[in-house]
Chain A
Protein backbone atom coordinates (compact mmCIF):
# COMPACT_ATOMS: atom_id res chain seq x y z
CA UNK A 1 0.00 0.00 0.00
CA UNK A 2 1.29 3.45 -0.85
CA UNK A 3 0.43 6.85 0.51
CA UNK A 4 1.15 10.40 -0.55
CA UNK A 5 2.61 12.87 1.92
CA UNK A 6 2.12 16.49 0.90
CA UNK A 7 3.90 19.23 2.81
CA UNK A 8 2.88 22.82 2.16
CA UNK A 9 4.11 25.99 3.82
CA UNK A 10 6.90 28.50 4.08
CA UNK A 11 10.28 27.11 3.05
CA UNK A 12 12.65 26.45 5.94
CA UNK A 13 15.76 24.40 6.60
CA UNK A 14 15.33 20.71 7.34
CA UNK A 15 11.82 19.93 6.13
CA UNK A 16 12.83 16.95 4.02
CA UNK A 17 15.13 15.65 6.77
CA UNK A 18 12.43 15.86 9.38
CA UNK A 19 9.73 14.15 7.30
CA UNK A 20 12.00 11.43 5.96
CA UNK A 21 13.35 10.89 9.49
CA UNK A 22 9.88 10.06 10.72
CA UNK A 23 9.33 7.78 7.72
CA UNK A 24 12.55 5.91 8.50
CA UNK A 25 11.70 5.64 12.20
CA UNK A 26 8.46 3.79 11.43
CA UNK A 27 9.71 1.87 8.39
CA UNK A 28 7.92 3.75 5.65
CA UNK A 29 10.02 3.47 2.51
CA UNK A 30 10.31 6.74 0.58
CA UNK A 31 9.86 5.88 -3.11
CA UNK A 32 9.91 9.29 -4.68
CA UNK A 33 10.07 12.96 -3.73
CA UNK A 34 9.32 16.08 -5.71
CA UNK A 35 9.45 19.59 -4.44
CA UNK A 36 8.59 22.94 -5.93
CA UNK A 37 8.38 26.53 -4.82
CA UNK A 38 5.11 28.10 -5.93
CA UNK A 39 5.09 31.84 -5.36
CA UNK A 40 6.91 31.78 -2.01
CA UNK A 41 5.14 28.63 -0.92
CA UNK A 42 7.11 25.46 -0.49
CA UNK A 43 5.32 22.31 -1.69
CA UNK A 44 6.81 18.87 -1.32
CA UNK A 45 5.08 15.65 -2.28
CA UNK A 46 6.43 12.29 -1.31
CA UNK A 47 5.29 8.83 -2.31
CA UNK A 48 5.86 6.30 0.44
CA UNK A 49 5.39 2.55 0.75
CA UNK A 50 3.57 1.84 4.00
CA UNK A 51 2.95 -1.90 4.06
CA UNK A 52 5.80 -2.48 6.53
CA UNK A 53 4.84 0.30 8.94
CA UNK A 54 5.63 -0.51 12.55
CA UNK A 55 2.70 1.51 13.85
CA UNK A 56 -0.91 1.94 12.76
CA UNK A 57 -1.30 4.01 9.57
CA UNK A 58 -3.55 6.55 11.27
CA UNK A 59 -1.09 7.03 14.17
CA UNK A 60 1.70 7.41 11.63
CA UNK A 61 -0.26 10.10 9.79
CA UNK A 62 -0.81 11.90 13.10
CA UNK A 63 2.95 11.87 13.84
CA UNK A 64 3.69 13.49 10.48
CA UNK A 65 0.98 16.08 10.96
CA UNK A 66 2.28 16.91 14.44
CA UNK A 67 5.81 17.36 13.06
CA UNK A 68 4.36 19.68 10.41
CA UNK A 69 2.56 21.78 12.99
CA UNK A 70 5.85 22.15 14.90
CA UNK A 71 7.52 23.60 11.81
CA UNK A 72 4.49 25.70 10.89
CA UNK A 73 3.71 23.56 7.86
CA UNK A 74 0.58 21.81 6.66
CA UNK A 75 1.12 18.08 6.24
CA UNK A 76 -1.45 15.88 4.52
CA UNK A 77 -1.14 12.12 4.42
CA UNK A 78 -3.54 10.48 2.03
CA UNK A 79 -3.84 7.06 0.44
CA UNK A 80 -2.59 7.23 -3.16
CA UNK A 81 -5.85 5.76 -4.54
CA UNK A 82 -7.66 9.04 -4.06
CA UNK A 83 -5.36 10.77 -6.53
CA UNK A 84 -5.34 7.87 -8.94
CA UNK A 85 -9.10 7.76 -9.04
CA UNK A 86 -9.63 11.50 -9.33
CA UNK A 87 -6.96 12.33 -11.87
CA UNK A 88 -6.63 9.25 -14.06
CA UNK A 89 -9.20 7.63 -16.28
Chain B
Protein backbone atom coordinates (compact mmCIF):
# COMPACT_ATOMS: atom_id res chain seq x y z
CA UNK B 1 0.00 0.00 0.00
CA UNK B 2 1.16 3.53 -0.50
CA UNK B 3 0.84 2.53 2.83
CA UNK B 4 1.61 1.55 6.16
CA UNK B 5 3.76 -1.18 7.37
CA UNK B 6 1.88 -3.99 9.12
CA UNK B 7 4.55 -4.06 11.82
CA UNK B 8 3.97 -0.37 12.57
CA UNK B 9 0.22 -0.88 12.78
CA UNK B 10 0.54 -3.82 15.15
CA UNK B 11 3.13 -1.96 17.24
CA UNK B 12 0.73 0.94 17.72
CA UNK B 13 -2.12 -1.36 18.69
CA UNK B 14 0.11 -3.18 21.16
CA UNK B 15 1.22 0.11 22.72
CA UNK B 16 -2.39 1.08 23.33
CA UNK B 17 -3.76 -2.34 24.31
CA UNK B 18 -0.96 -3.74 26.43
CA UNK B 19 1.37 -0.91 27.36
CA UNK B 20 -1.16 1.69 28.52
CA UNK B 21 -0.36 4.28 25.87
CA UNK B 22 -2.88 7.05 26.10
CA UNK B 23 -3.45 10.76 25.88
CA UNK B 24 -3.54 11.66 29.54
CA UNK B 25 -5.41 14.92 29.14
CA UNK B 26 -6.88 17.45 26.75
CA UNK B 27 -7.00 20.65 28.75
CA UNK B 28 -8.76 23.76 27.55
CA UNK B 29 -7.20 26.94 28.91
CA UNK B 30 -9.74 29.74 29.29
CA UNK B 31 -8.89 33.33 30.20
CA UNK B 32 -11.23 34.92 32.74
CA UNK B 33 -9.70 38.39 32.47
CA UNK B 34 -12.78 39.69 30.65
CA UNK B 35 -15.03 38.38 33.45
CA UNK B 36 -13.56 40.66 36.12
CA UNK B 37 -16.19 42.67 37.97
CA UNK B 38 -16.29 44.39 41.35
CA UNK B 39 -19.65 42.71 42.01
CA UNK B 40 -18.73 39.12 42.87
CA UNK B 41 -22.06 37.65 41.75
CA UNK B 42 -21.85 39.36 38.42
CA UNK B 43 -18.25 38.16 37.99
CA UNK B 44 -19.31 34.57 38.77
CA UNK B 45 -22.20 34.79 36.28
CA UNK B 46 -19.83 35.99 33.55
CA UNK B 47 -17.37 33.21 34.35
CA UNK B 48 -20.07 30.55 34.26
CA UNK B 49 -21.43 31.84 30.98
CA UNK B 50 -18.04 32.12 29.26
CA UNK B 51 -16.71 28.77 30.44
CA UNK B 52 -19.89 26.89 29.57
CA UNK B 53 -19.89 28.47 26.12
CA UNK B 54 -16.22 27.75 25.41
CA UNK B 55 -16.10 24.25 26.89
CA UNK B 56 -19.58 23.14 25.88
CA UNK B 57 -18.26 20.57 23.40
CA UNK B 58 -14.92 19.77 25.01
CA UNK B 59 -15.84 16.38 26.49
CA UNK B 60 -17.83 15.28 23.44
CA UNK B 61 -15.04 16.32 21.06
CA UNK B 62 -12.52 14.40 23.15
CA UNK B 63 -14.71 11.31 23.00
CA UNK B 64 -15.20 11.65 19.24
CA UNK B 65 -11.46 11.89 18.62
CA UNK B 66 -10.94 8.91 20.90
CA UNK B 67 -13.28 6.82 18.76
CA UNK B 68 -12.02 8.03 15.41
CA UNK B 69 -8.35 7.37 16.10
CA UNK B 70 -8.78 4.51 18.55
CA UNK B 71 -6.64 6.25 21.19
CA UNK B 72 -7.85 6.48 24.77
CA UNK B 73 -8.08 10.08 26.01
CA UNK B 74 -8.30 9.70 29.76
CA UNK B 75 -9.13 13.19 31.01
CA UNK B 76 -10.82 16.28 29.67
CA UNK B 77 -10.07 19.30 31.82
CA UNK B 78 -10.10 23.07 32.01
CA UNK B 79 -7.55 25.55 33.34
CA UNK B 80 -8.39 29.17 34.06
CA UNK B 81 -6.70 32.49 34.82
CA UNK B 82 -5.40 32.46 38.42
CA UNK B 83 -8.52 33.29 40.39
CA UNK B 84 -6.62 35.71 42.66
CA UNK B 85 -6.37 38.08 39.67
CA UNK B 86 -10.09 37.81 38.95
CA UNK B 87 -11.12 38.02 42.61
CA UNK B 88 -8.98 41.05 43.51
CA UNK B 89 -11.58 43.61 42.37
CA UNK B 90 -14.37 42.09 44.50
CA UNK B 91 -12.65 42.56 47.88
CA UNK B 92 -14.59 39.55 49.19
CA UNK B 93 -13.85 35.92 50.05
CA UNK B 94 -13.16 34.22 46.72
CA UNK B 95 -14.81 30.90 47.71
CA UNK B 96 -17.80 31.81 45.51
CA UNK B 97 -15.47 31.56 42.52
CA UNK B 98 -14.49 28.01 43.53
CA UNK B 99 -18.16 27.08 43.72
CA UNK B 100 -18.74 28.59 40.27
CA UNK B 101 -15.88 26.51 38.87
CA UNK B 102 -17.44 23.45 40.48
CA UNK B 103 -20.74 24.18 38.72
CA UNK B 104 -18.86 24.50 35.42
CA UNK B 105 -17.15 21.14 36.03
CA UNK B 106 -20.54 19.53 36.58
CA UNK B 107 -22.11 21.33 33.63
CA UNK B 108 -19.40 20.46 31.12
CA UNK B 109 -18.52 17.00 32.43
CA UNK B 110 -14.78 17.74 32.79
CA UNK B 111 -13.17 15.97 35.72
CA UNK B 112 -11.00 18.81 37.05
CA UNK B 113 -10.72 22.56 36.75
CA UNK B 114 -7.38 24.07 37.72
CA UNK B 115 -6.64 27.69 38.50
CA UNK B 116 -7.81 28.44 42.01
CA UNK B 117 -4.38 29.96 42.13
CA UNK B 118 -2.17 32.88 43.05
CA UNK B 119 1.21 33.94 41.67
CA UNK B 120 3.20 35.45 44.52
CA UNK B 121 6.81 34.62 43.65
CA UNK B 122 7.97 38.11 44.55
CA UNK B 123 5.16 39.50 46.68
CA UNK B 124 1.44 39.62 47.34
CA UNK B 125 -0.78 41.94 45.35
CA UNK B 126 -4.45 42.69 45.99
CA UNK B 127 -6.46 39.50 46.33
CA UNK B 128 -3.52 37.12 46.70
CA UNK B 129 -3.54 36.66 50.48
CA UNK B 130 -7.33 36.38 50.55
CA UNK B 131 -7.21 33.68 47.91
CA UNK B 132 -4.47 31.69 49.62
CA UNK B 133 -6.26 31.85 52.96
CA UNK B 134 -9.48 30.60 51.36
CA UNK B 135 -7.88 27.54 49.72
CA UNK B 136 -8.69 25.00 52.48
CA UNK B 137 -12.35 26.03 52.56
CA UNK B 138 -12.62 26.21 48.75
CA UNK B 139 -11.17 22.72 48.33
CA UNK B 140 -13.27 21.23 51.12
CA UNK B 141 -16.46 22.62 49.61
CA UNK B 142 -15.78 21.51 46.05
CA UNK B 143 -14.67 18.21 44.57
CA UNK B 144 -13.35 19.04 41.11
CA UNK B 145 -11.42 22.28 41.68
CA UNK B 146 -7.62 22.37 41.98
CA UNK B 147 -5.39 24.99 43.47
CA UNK B 148 -1.81 26.11 42.98
CA UNK B 149 0.44 28.85 44.31
CA UNK B 150 3.71 29.97 42.74
CA UNK B 151 6.03 30.99 45.58
CA UNK B 152 9.33 31.42 43.76
CA UNK B 153 11.09 31.91 40.45
CA UNK B 154 14.62 32.08 39.13
CA UNK B 155 14.15 35.75 38.30
CA UNK B 156 12.40 36.81 41.52
CA UNK B 157 13.79 34.52 44.21
CA UNK B 158 11.59 32.86 46.82
CA UNK B 159 8.81 34.61 48.72
CA UNK B 160 9.40 33.17 52.20
CA UNK B 161 6.25 34.80 53.60
CA UNK B 162 4.26 32.79 51.06
CA UNK B 163 6.26 29.66 51.86
CA UNK B 164 5.40 30.08 55.55
CA UNK B 165 1.72 30.52 54.69
CA UNK B 166 1.58 27.46 52.47
CA UNK B 167 2.74 25.08 55.20
CA UNK B 168 -0.24 26.14 57.28
CA UNK B 169 -2.64 26.09 54.33
CA UNK B 170 -1.68 22.54 53.36
CA UNK B 171 -2.22 21.35 56.94
CA UNK B 172 -5.60 23.08 57.14
CA UNK B 173 -6.68 21.65 53.78
CA UNK B 174 -5.80 18.19 55.02
CA UNK B 175 -7.57 18.65 58.36
CA UNK B 176 -10.72 19.99 56.73
CA UNK B 177 -10.90 16.88 54.54
CA UNK B 178 -9.67 14.28 57.04
CA UNK B 179 -12.85 12.25 56.58
CA UNK B 180 -12.21 12.19 52.86
CA UNK B 181 -8.65 10.75 52.78
CA UNK B 182 -7.20 14.25 53.44
CA UNK B 183 -7.86 14.81 49.78
CA UNK B 184 -7.88 18.60 50.05
CA UNK B 185 -4.09 18.61 50.27
CA UNK B 186 -3.81 16.43 47.16
CA UNK B 187 -5.43 19.23 45.17
CA UNK B 188 -2.82 21.89 46.12
CA UNK B 189 0.46 22.34 44.30
CA UNK B 190 3.11 24.81 45.50
CA UNK B 191 5.36 25.79 42.61
CA UNK B 192 8.64 27.47 41.85
CA UNK B 193 8.87 28.60 38.20
CA UNK B 194 5.28 27.48 37.47
CA UNK B 195 4.58 27.00 33.74
CA UNK B 196 1.61 28.97 32.43
CA UNK B 197 0.46 26.38 29.91
CA UNK B 198 0.59 23.18 31.96
CA UNK B 199 -2.31 20.84 31.13
CA UNK B 200 -1.72 18.50 34.11
CA UNK B 201 -3.54 18.68 37.42
CA UNK B 202 -3.49 19.71 40.14
CA UNK B 203 -1.12 22.47 39.03
CA UNK B 204 -2.79 23.65 35.81
CA UNK B 205 -3.69 27.30 35.43
CA UNK B 206 -4.06 29.55 32.39
CA UNK B 207 -1.34 32.21 32.36
CA UNK B 208 -2.02 35.81 31.44
CA UNK B 209 0.25 35.68 28.38
CA UNK B 210 -1.72 32.86 26.75
CA UNK B 211 -4.45 32.94 24.10
CA UNK B 212 -7.97 33.81 25.26
CA UNK B 213 -8.83 30.13 24.87
CA UNK B 214 -6.46 27.35 23.84
CA UNK B 215 -6.04 23.60 23.78
CA UNK B 216 -3.09 21.98 25.53
CA UNK B 217 -2.46 18.26 25.46
CA UNK B 218 -0.61 16.04 27.93
CA UNK B 219 0.66 12.69 26.68
CA UNK B 220 1.68 9.73 28.75
CA UNK B 221 3.24 6.34 28.27
CA UNK B 222 5.72 5.09 30.89
CA UNK B 223 4.60 1.56 30.04
CA UNK B 224 5.55 2.02 26.39
CA UNK B 225 9.05 3.24 27.29
CA UNK B 226 9.59 0.33 29.64
CA UNK B 227 8.37 -2.20 27.09
CA UNK B 228 10.69 -0.70 24.45
CA UNK B 229 13.65 -0.94 26.83
CA UNK B 230 12.84 -4.53 27.76
CA UNK B 231 13.50 -5.47 24.13
CA UNK B 232 17.12 -4.29 24.56
CA UNK B 233 18.42 -6.13 27.61
CA UNK B 234 22.06 -5.82 26.55
CA UNK B 235 22.09 -2.31 25.16
CA UNK B 236 24.63 0.17 26.49
CA UNK B 237 23.50 3.49 27.91
CA UNK B 238 23.91 5.41 24.64
CA UNK B 239 21.62 2.90 22.98
CA UNK B 240 19.17 3.10 25.89
CA UNK B 241 18.95 6.87 25.42
CA UNK B 242 18.29 6.32 21.74
CA UNK B 243 15.48 3.83 22.36
CA UNK B 244 13.83 6.27 24.78
CA UNK B 245 14.12 9.12 22.27
CA UNK B 246 12.50 7.11 19.48
CA UNK B 247 9.68 5.98 21.75
CA UNK B 248 9.10 9.51 23.05
CA UNK B 249 8.94 10.71 19.46
CA UNK B 250 6.10 8.33 18.64
CA UNK B 251 4.18 9.11 21.80
CA UNK B 252 4.49 12.84 21.25
CA UNK B 253 3.42 12.62 17.60
CA UNK B 254 0.20 11.10 18.83
CA UNK B 255 -0.26 14.02 21.24
CA UNK B 256 0.43 16.50 18.46
CA UNK B 257 -2.15 14.82 16.22
CA UNK B 258 -4.82 14.81 18.92
CA UNK B 259 -4.03 18.39 19.94
CA UNK B 260 -4.27 19.81 16.42
CA UNK B 261 -7.42 17.79 15.72
CA UNK B 262 -9.10 18.98 18.94
CA UNK B 263 -8.10 22.55 18.24
CA UNK B 264 -9.55 22.34 14.71
CA UNK B 265 -12.82 20.78 15.84
CA UNK B 266 -13.31 23.20 18.72
CA UNK B 267 -12.22 26.26 16.75
CA UNK B 268 -9.66 27.16 19.41
CA UNK B 269 -5.90 27.72 18.91
CA UNK B 270 -3.56 24.85 19.71
CA UNK B 271 -1.21 25.73 22.54
CA UNK B 272 1.32 23.03 23.37
CA UNK B 273 1.99 19.35 23.84
CA UNK B 274 3.26 18.57 27.30
CA UNK B 275 5.50 15.59 26.68
CA UNK B 276 5.47 14.11 30.10
CA UNK B 277 5.70 10.53 31.30
CA UNK B 278 2.80 10.53 33.71
CA UNK B 279 2.44 7.28 35.64
CA UNK B 280 -0.76 5.78 37.02
CA UNK B 281 -1.13 3.12 39.71
CA UNK B 282 -2.06 0.62 36.96
CA UNK B 283 0.31 -2.29 36.52
CA UNK B 284 2.81 -1.50 33.77
CA UNK B 285 2.36 2.28 33.90
CA UNK B 286 5.20 3.20 36.23
CA UNK B 287 8.19 5.53 35.88
CA UNK B 288 9.97 3.68 38.72
CA UNK B 289 9.79 0.50 36.66
CA UNK B 290 11.56 2.23 33.75
CA UNK B 291 14.44 3.13 36.07
CA UNK B 292 14.52 -0.46 37.28
CA UNK B 293 14.47 -1.72 33.69
CA UNK B 294 17.60 0.35 33.02
CA UNK B 295 19.32 -1.66 35.72
CA UNK B 296 18.45 -0.77 39.31
CA UNK B 297 17.39 -3.40 41.84
CA UNK B 298 14.91 -0.89 43.15
CA UNK B 299 14.02 2.70 42.43
CA UNK B 300 15.76 4.71 45.14
CA UNK B 301 19.03 2.79 44.92
CA UNK B 302 22.21 4.77 44.28
CA UNK B 303 22.17 5.44 40.54
CA UNK B 304 18.50 6.44 40.52
CA UNK B 305 19.23 10.13 40.00
CA UNK B 306 21.50 9.37 37.03
CA UNK B 307 18.97 7.03 35.40
CA UNK B 308 16.22 9.60 35.87
CA UNK B 309 18.37 12.38 34.40
CA UNK B 310 19.00 10.22 31.34
CA UNK B 311 15.32 9.32 31.01
CA UNK B 312 14.10 12.89 31.43
CA UNK B 313 16.53 14.31 28.89
CA UNK B 314 15.91 11.59 26.30
CA UNK B 315 12.13 12.03 26.59
CA UNK B 316 12.54 15.74 25.84
CA UNK B 317 14.94 15.21 22.95
CA UNK B 318 12.63 12.69 21.31
CA UNK B 319 9.52 14.72 21.96
CA UNK B 320 10.72 18.13 20.86
CA UNK B 321 11.11 17.12 17.24
CA UNK B 322 7.73 15.43 17.20
CA UNK B 323 5.71 18.49 18.08
CA UNK B 324 5.45 22.00 16.70
CA UNK B 325 5.06 23.45 20.19
CA UNK B 326 6.25 21.83 23.38
CA UNK B 327 5.53 23.33 26.77
CA UNK B 328 4.01 22.72 30.16
CA UNK B 329 5.98 20.56 32.52
CA UNK B 330 7.48 18.18 29.92
CA UNK B 331 9.54 15.43 31.54
CA UNK B 332 9.18 12.43 33.79
CA UNK B 333 6.79 12.74 36.73
CA UNK B 334 7.69 11.00 39.95
CA UNK B 335 4.55 11.05 42.09
CA UNK B 336 4.75 8.44 44.81
CA UNK B 337 1.11 7.50 45.34
CA UNK B 338 0.30 7.36 41.62
CA UNK B 339 3.13 5.02 40.66
CA UNK B 340 3.03 1.35 41.66
CA UNK B 341 6.82 1.06 41.42
CA UNK B 342 7.41 4.11 43.63
CA UNK B 343 4.99 2.79 46.26
CA UNK B 344 6.81 -0.56 46.30
CA UNK B 345 10.17 1.21 46.53
CA UNK B 346 9.03 3.18 49.58
CA UNK B 347 7.53 0.11 51.22
CA UNK B 348 10.70 -1.91 50.80
CA UNK B 349 12.71 0.92 52.37
CA UNK B 350 14.59 1.78 49.17
CA UNK B 351 13.12 5.21 48.49
CA UNK B 352 13.22 8.06 50.98
CA UNK B 353 12.14 11.69 50.93
CA UNK B 354 15.78 12.78 50.69
CA UNK B 355 16.34 10.65 47.59
CA UNK B 356 13.14 11.94 46.03
CA UNK B 357 14.35 15.48 46.65
CA UNK B 358 17.60 14.72 44.81
CA UNK B 359 15.62 13.18 41.94
CA UNK B 360 13.58 16.36 41.55
CA UNK B 361 16.76 18.22 40.59
CA UNK B 362 16.88 16.28 37.31
CA UNK B 363 13.27 15.53 36.48
CA UNK B 364 10.18 17.30 35.42
CA UNK B 365 8.39 18.38 38.56
CA UNK B 366 9.02 17.84 42.23
CA UNK B 367 7.91 16.18 45.42
CA UNK B 368 4.59 14.94 44.16
CA UNK B 369 1.81 13.06 45.96
CA UNK B 370 3.91 12.33 49.01
CA UNK B 371 2.11 11.39 52.20
CA UNK B 372 3.75 12.60 55.43
CA UNK B 373 2.83 11.82 59.05
CA UNK B 374 -0.26 13.56 60.41
CA UNK B 375 1.74 15.33 63.12
CA UNK B 376 4.16 16.97 60.65
CA UNK B 377 4.20 20.65 61.61
CA UNK B 378 3.24 23.47 59.26
CA UNK B 379 6.79 24.82 59.59
CA UNK B 380 8.30 21.51 58.50
CA UNK B 381 6.00 21.45 55.44
CA UNK B 382 7.08 25.02 54.69
CA UNK B 383 10.72 23.97 55.01
CA UNK B 384 10.13 21.09 52.56
CA UNK B 385 8.59 23.65 50.18
CA UNK B 386 11.55 26.01 50.64
CA UNK B 387 14.08 23.26 49.85
CA UNK B 388 12.21 22.23 46.75
CA UNK B 389 11.70 25.81 45.56
CA UNK B 390 15.43 26.42 46.03
CA UNK B 391 16.24 23.51 43.70
CA UNK B 392 13.91 24.97 41.08
CA UNK B 393 15.14 28.52 41.51
CA UNK B 394 18.84 27.69 41.24
CA UNK B 395 18.46 25.22 38.37
CA UNK B 396 16.06 27.39 36.33
CA UNK B 397 13.46 24.65 36.26
CA UNK B 398 9.97 24.04 37.53
CA UNK B 399 9.72 22.35 40.89
CA UNK B 400 6.62 21.70 42.91
CA UNK B 401 5.47 20.29 46.21
CA UNK B 402 2.29 18.30 46.69
CA UNK B 403 2.47 16.71 50.13
CA UNK B 404 -0.44 15.32 52.08
CA UNK B 405 -0.25 15.29 55.88
CA UNK B 406 -2.24 12.14 56.74
CA UNK B 407 -4.17 13.36 59.76
CA UNK B 408 -4.11 10.76 62.52
CA UNK B 409 -1.61 8.50 60.74
CA UNK B 410 2.01 7.61 61.42
CA UNK B 411 5.03 6.61 59.38
CA UNK B 412 4.56 3.15 57.84
CA UNK B 413 0.77 3.33 57.54
CA UNK B 414 -0.91 3.78 54.15
CA UNK B 415 -3.35 6.46 53.04
CA UNK B 416 -5.70 5.16 50.35
CA UNK B 417 -7.01 7.62 47.76
CA UNK B 418 -8.39 5.24 45.17
CA UNK B 419 -8.59 5.52 41.39
CA UNK B 420 -5.95 7.51 39.49
CA UNK B 421 -4.56 8.84 42.75
CA UNK B 422 -3.61 5.44 44.14
CA UNK B 423 -2.43 5.03 47.70
CA UNK B 424 0.43 6.58 49.58
CA UNK B 425 2.69 5.06 52.22
CA UNK B 426 3.25 7.58 55.03
CA UNK B 427 6.90 8.62 54.65
CA UNK B 428 9.45 9.63 57.24
CA UNK B 429 10.26 13.33 57.58
CA UNK B 430 13.09 14.79 59.63
CA UNK B 431 12.08 15.46 63.22
CA UNK B 432 14.42 18.44 63.53
CA UNK B 433 12.82 21.86 63.46
CA UNK B 434 13.21 24.63 60.85
CA UNK B 435 10.75 26.92 62.65
CA UNK B 436 13.20 29.76 63.25
CA UNK B 437 14.13 29.87 59.57
CA UNK B 438 10.51 29.79 58.42
CA UNK B 439 9.36 32.43 60.95
CA UNK B 440 11.91 35.00 59.75
CA UNK B 441 9.88 35.88 56.64
CA UNK B 442 11.22 38.03 53.80
CA UNK B 443 12.59 36.85 50.47
CA UNK B 444 15.42 34.68 49.27
CA UNK B 445 17.14 36.90 46.68
CA UNK B 446 17.19 35.77 43.06
CA UNK B 447 20.27 33.68 42.31
CA UNK B 448 23.20 34.59 40.12
CA UNK B 449 22.85 33.27 36.57
CA UNK B 450 26.54 33.17 35.77
CA UNK B 451 29.63 31.79 37.54
CA UNK B 452 27.72 28.50 37.69
CA UNK B 453 29.42 25.75 39.57
Contacts and interface: CB of A to CB of B under 8 A. Distances in A.
Interface of A: 4, 6, 8, 31-32, 34, 36, 38, 43, 45, 47, 57-58, 61, 74, 76-87
Secondary structure class of chain B's binding surface, majority of residues = helix
Contacts, number: 70
B70 A76 contact: yes
Nearest to B16: A76
A16 to B, nearest CB: 15
B4 A77 contact: no
A26 to B, nearest CB: 16
A58 B12 CA distance: 20
Contacts of A32: 1, 3
B17 to A, nearest CB: 8
B72 to A, nearest CB: 12
Given A32-B1, A85-B256, 15 more contacts: A6-B10, A6-B13, A34-B1, A34-B6, A45-B4, A57-B68, A61-B67, A76-B13, A77-B70, A78-B69, A79-B70, A81-B69, A84-B4, A86-B8, A87-B5
Given A81-B69, A85-B253, A6 B9 contact: yes
Contacts of B8: 83, 86-87
B58 interface: no
B250 interface: yes
A83 B254 contact: no
28 contacts: A6-B9, A31-B1, A31-B3, A32-B1, A32-B3, A43-B10, A45-B4, A47-B3, A57-B68, A58-B67, A61-B67, A76-B13, A76-B70, A77-B70, A78-B68, A78-B70, A79-B69, A79-B70, A80-B4, A82-B69, A82-B257, A83-B4, A83-B9, A84-B4, A85-B253, A85-B257, A87-B4, A87-B5
A79 B8 CA distance: 14
Contact of B71 (A4, A36, A82): A82
Secondary structure class of chain A's binding surface, majority of residues = strand
Interface in B332-373: none
B254 A47 contact: no
Interface in B1-51: 1, 3-6, 8-13, 17
Contacts of B12: 78, 82-83, 86-87
Contact of B253 (A4, A6, A76, A86): A86
A30 to B, nearest CB: 11
Contacts of A34: 1, 6
A74 B14 CA distance: 12
B324 to A, nearest CB: 12
Given A43-B6, A86-B250, A87-B8, A81 B257 contact: yes
Nearest to A81: B257
A4 to B, nearest CB: 6
Contacts of B1: 31-32, 34, 47
A36 B7 CA distance: 10
Q: What class of interface size applies to chain B in its complex with A?
A: 20 to 34
A47 B4 CA distance: 9
A77 B17 CA distance: 13
B381 to A, nearest CB: 43
B330 to A, nearest CB: 19
A62 B34 CA distance: 44
Contacts of A78: 12, 68-71
A4 B3 CA distance: 10
B68 A79 contact: yes
B48 to A, nearest CB: 31
Nearest to A44: B6
B254 A8 contact: no
A36 to B, nearest CB: 6
A82 B70 contact: yes
Contacts of B9: 4, 6, 45, 83
Given A45-B9, A79-B69, A85 B3 contact: no
A86 to B, nearest CB: 5
Contact of B68 (A58, A84, A87): A58
A12 B17 CA distance: 23
Contacts of B10: 6, 8, 38, 43, 45
B5 A85 contact: no
Report the 3 A-B pairs with minimum CB-CB distance, sorted nearest first: A32-B1, A78-B70, A87-B8
A79 B70 CA distance: 8
Interface string B60-95: 000010011111000000000000000000000000
